[in-house]
DNA sequence: TTATCCCTCATACTTTTGGGTGATTTTACC
DNA sequence: GGTAAAATCACCCAAAAGTATGAGGGATAA
C-alpha cells in the first residue's frame, strides 16, 4: 500500500535516480573500456652473484706446457669451468660439438682425469685457470 | 528569443541530459579513481660481489640457509665439486645412486642452474663450498 | 719433403647425468 | 600425537658427456 504512495509521490526523484545510476554505470564502463590501463611498476631486486674478477690472474704457462695442453684445449677447459655445456662451448667457439668433445677427451687424457669436473678441479689447483 | 522557447519546451529533456552527463562524468571519475592498476614487474639484477676465502674455509651458512640447501645436499655438492661422479658420491655416502641423483636435482633447482658444473661454479662464488 | 702437431669433423657406441613422478621412512618440532 | 621437512629409493625416459677410431688440412720444423 505505502509503496504505491512512495512511488507516486517521488516518481520524479526515482526517475532521476535511475538515470543517475544508469549513466554512472555508463561512465564507469566508458572509462574502463577506453582508458589506457594504469601501469604500476614493481621493482624486484634480484641478487646476482658475480665474481670480483681477479685483476692479476695469468694462467700458469709452465704447467700448461708441461702437460702439453694446447691453446684451443685451454679455451675449452676454461669454458667448461664456467659451467658451459659442450654444445654451448661449440657455439661460443664456432666449431662443431664433435670438435669440442675431441678437445675434451684429449684434455682429460693430458690431465689424467675421467670427468670434466675433475679436470676443472685439477686445472684450478694447478693454476691453469682462474 | 528562440532559445527561450527551446529551453521552456524541452526543459525536462535538458534537465535529464544534464543529469546524464553529470553522472557519466562521475562514473568515469570513479572508474579511473578506483580501478586497480595493472601490475608490471620489473626485475632488476643487482650485482653482489662475494669474496672467496681460501685458507681456513667455512661454508657460508647465511647463503646456504637463504637458498634452503640442506646438510645432505651440501655434502653432495661438495663431493661434486671434488670431481666425483654420482656413483662415487653414492659409495662415499653409503646411499644409492638414485638418492644422490635426487639430491642433485633438488640442488640444481635451489641454485637455479642446469648442470653440476654450473652448480659448482655458483656455489664457489657464493662461498658455500671451498 | 717428410714428419709432427694442432685443429677440425664424422660415425658409432657406452656411460653419466638430469628430469619427472611417486613412495616410504626418519627426523625434528610444536 | 600430528605434521612438516629431510632423506631415502625406485622406475622410466631423455639429454649430455665421454670413448674409440679414422680422416683431412694447415702450419712448422727437421
| DSSP result, A96-114 | -HHHHHHHHHHHHHHHT-S
Gap between the Cα atoms of B105 and B113, Å rounded: 10
Shortest Cα distance, chain A CAs vs residue B106, angstroms? 18
Instruction: Please tell me the predicted confidence (pLDDT) of residue A78.
Output: 97
Name the grid cell of A125: 689447483
- Residue for grid cell 648442470: B115
More confident residue, B40 or B119: B119
User: Would the CB atoms of A44 and B46 count as touching at under 8 Å?
Assistant: no
Name the grid cell of B78: 661438495
Q: Which residues of A touch B26 (CB under 8 A)?
A: 24, 27
Measure, in angstroms, how far nucleotide C10 C1' is from residue A92 CA.
20
Gap between the Cα atoms of A95 and A76, Å rounded: 11
Query: What is the average pLDDT score of chain A?
Result: 82
Domain spans of chain B, in order of start: 61-125
Vertex A114: Cα angle to A111 and A119 (nearest 5)? 45
Query: Average pLDDT for residues B74-97, to the nearest whole number?
Result: 96
Entry pTM: 0.70
Closest Cβ opposite residue B44 in set A45, A85, A120: A45
pLDDT per position as a tens digit, A43-97: 555 555 555 566 777 887 888 888 999 999 999 999 999 999 999 999 999 999 9
Q: Which nucleotides of D are covered by protein (CB under 7 A)?
A: 5-11, 16-22
Query: What is the average pLDDT score of chain B?
Result: 80
Whether the pLDDT of residue B101 is over 90: the answer is yes
Other C-beta atoms lying within 10 Å of the C-beta of residue A83: 18
Q: Which nucleotide is nearest to B71 (CA to C1')?
A: D6
Q: How many helices (H) and strands (E) does chain B have?
A: 7, 1
CATH code for the domain defined by A61-125: 1.10.10.10
Gap between the Cα atoms of A92 and A76, Å rounded: 10
Gap between the Cα atoms of A18 and A10, Å rounded: 12
Closest Cβ opposite residue B47 in set A35, A43, A50: A50
Q: Is A25 within 8 Å of B31 (Cβ atoms)? A: no
Question: What pLDDT band is residue A128 in, cutting at 50, 70 and 90?
Answer: very high
- Residue for grid cell 640442506: B70
Q: Which residues of B touch A37 (CB under 8 A)?
A: 37-38
Instruction: Please tell me the predicted confidence (pLDDT) of residue B49.
Output: 46
Q: What percent of chain B has pLDDT over 90?
A: 46
State how far the alpha carbon of B55 is from the alpha carbons of A12, A24, A78, A128, in Å: 90, 73, 24, 19
Burial state string for A43-52 with b = 16 or more CB within 10 A and e = fewer than 16: eeeeeeeeee
Angle in degrees, 0-180, between the axes of helices B116-125 and A71-81, rounded to the nearest 10: 70
State how far the alpha carbon of A86 is from the alpha carbons of A91, A105, A109, B19, B122, in Å: 9, 12, 17, 73, 18
What is the SS3 assignment for B25? helix
pLDDT per position as a tens digit, B63-73: 878 899 999 99
Q: Which residues of A touch B31 (CB under 8 A)?
A: 27-32, 35
Whether the pLDDT of residue B46 is over 90: the answer is no
**Residue of B85, B50, B15, B120 whose CA lies nearest to A12:** B15
Instruction: Please tell me the predicted confidence (pLDDT) of residue A56.
Output: 74
Q: Which nucleotide is nearest to B116 (CA to C1')?
A: C17
Q: What percent of chain A has pLDDT over 90?
A: 48
Q: Which nucleotide is nearest to A97 (CA to C1')?
A: C9
Q: Element (H or E) spanning B46, and its range?
A: strand B38-50
Question: What pLDDT band is residue A109 in, cutting at 50, 70 and 90?
Answer: very high
Q: Which residues of B touch A80 (CB under 8 A)?
A: 117
Gap between the Cα atoms of A20 and B22, Å rounded: 8
Amino acid at each position: 500500500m505505502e509503496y504505491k504512495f512512495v512511488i507516486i509521490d517521488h516518481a520524479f526523484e526515482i526517475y532521476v535516480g535511475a538515470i543517475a545510476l544508469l549513466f554512472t554505470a555508463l561512465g564507469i564502463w566508458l572509462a574502463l573500456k577506453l582508458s589506457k590501463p594504469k601501469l604500476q611498476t614493481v621493482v624486484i631486486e634480484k641478487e646476482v652473484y658475480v665474481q670480483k674478477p681477479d685483476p692479476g690472474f695469468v694462467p700458469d704457462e709452465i704447467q700448461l706446457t708441461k702437460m702439453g695442453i694446447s691453446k684451443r684445449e685451454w679455451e675449452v677447459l676454461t669454458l667448461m669451468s664456467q659451467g658451459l655445456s659442450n654444445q654451448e662451448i661449440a657455439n661460443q667457439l664456432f666449431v662443431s660439438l664433435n670438435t669440442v668433445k675431441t678437445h675434451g677427451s684429449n684434455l682429460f687424457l693430458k690431465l689424467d682425469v675421467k670427468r670434466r669436473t675433475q679436470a676443472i678441479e685439477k686445472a684450478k689447483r694447478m693454476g691453469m685457470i682462474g
